[in-house]
A and B are shown apart, each in its own frame.
Chain A
Amino acid sequence: NAGVTQTPKFQVLKTGQSMTLQCAQDMNHEYMSWYRQDPGMGLRLIHYSVGAGITDQGEVPNGYNVSRSTTEDFPLRLLSAAPSQTSVYFCASIKRGALSTDTQYFGPGTRLTVL
């Protein structure tokens, strides 16, 4: 298994540009989530999904859209990038059931800078 993969690893955008951060997992996990990590802030939930076709908002959803058309993929879209969206973005996947060290994984992150 490749685990959770994220692309790109680094991205620089200009204010107002749009882009999609990709996340994929090959473990057939039901739950997938997007977090952003800012210095001193820990990880904050943006959006999450409990299965294909089902998404919900997290703590900081404004400025981001998601969709979950397949179990494997959970892309995060920035429709009009703003400097406040400069951050490191992590995707996570979780297998339904009791959380354990072999049922929950984070991707390596996407480092986004918005100028």
Chain B
Amino acid sequence: GQQLNQSPQSMFIQEGEDVSMNCTSSSIFNTWLWYKQDPGEGPVLLIALYKAGELTSNGRLTAQFGITRKDSFLNISASIPSDVGIYFCAGLNYGGSQGNLIFGKGTKLSVKP
């Protein structure tokens, strides 16, 4: 089946640092999504991207839809302790049902105060 390769698997950073993570795929997607999951909770959608090249921000978070439609990245600026969690990318491909999202394996972010 289709796979999303998400990297890095984990990150340990100091509070105030910027963070960057990305997802790549061998398949084209028409929508890229970025989620955050806190311990014991379900994922929460942070940003949705719909067009190749699109750059979208949500507070300190910025995500881009790659020009090739096969990749996306998420940046977090000036990290704070509450940014801790697992970040997932997800894709929805052409012709796919909106119920059928494909997820990366996640990036676990740890922030040292």
Task: Point out the residues of chain B lying under 8 angstroms from A109, CB to CB.
Answer: 40-42
Enumerate 20 A-B pairs (CB-CB under 8 Å) in ascending A order. A31-B98, A32-B99, A42-B4, A42-B104, A43-B43, A49-B99, A50-B97, A50-B98, A59-B1, A94-B99, A96-B98, A98-B48, A99-B31, A99-B92, A99-B98, A101-B48, A104-B33, A106-B43, A108-B41, A109-B40
Q: Is the CB of B103 within 8 A of A100?
A: no
Report the Cα distance A40→B44, complex, angstroms: 18
Task: Point out the residues of chain B lying under 8 angstroms from A96, CB to CB.
Answer: 98
Nearest CB in chain B to that of A44: its residue: B103
Nearest CB in chain B to that of A45: its residue: B100
Say yes or no: is B105 at the interface (Cβ < 8 Å to chain A): yes
Can you list, as one digit per residue, whether each of A47-76 has a CB less than 8 Å from chain B (1) or not (0)?
011100000101100000000000000000
Q: Knowing A98-B50, A99-B31 touch, does A106 contact B99 (C-beta < 8 A)? A: no
Query: Residues on A close to B: CB < 8 A?
Result: 4, 31-33, 35, 40-45, 48-50, 56, 58-59, 90, 92, 94, 96, 98-101, 104-109
Say yes or no: is B106 at the interface (Cβ < 8 Å to chain A): yes
Q: Is the CB of B42 within 8 A of A90?
A: yes
Closest Cβ of chain B: how far from A56's Cβ, in Å? 7
Can you list, as one digit per residue, whether each of B87-98 has a CB less than 8 Å from chain A (1) or not (0)?
010101000011
Report the Cα distance A56→B4, complex, angstroms: 21
Say yes or no: is B111 at the interface (Cβ < 8 Å to chain A): no
Query: Residues on B close to A: CB < 8 A?
Result: 1, 4, 6, 31, 33, 40-48, 50, 58, 88, 90, 92, 97-106
Q: Knowing A59-B1, A101-B48 touch, does A31 contact B97 (C-beta < 8 A)? A: yes
Task: Point out the residues of chain A lying under 8 angstroms from B104, CB to CB.
Answer: 42
Q: Is the CB of A94 within 8 A of B98?
A: yes
Report the Cα distance A14→B47, complex, angstroms: 40
Q: Is the CB of A48 within 8 A of B41?
A: no
Nearest CB in chain B to that of A35: its residue: B103
Beyond A33-B99, A48-B99, A90-B43, 5 additional pairs, beta carbon < 8 A: A42-B103, A44-B103, A50-B97, A58-B100, A99-B33
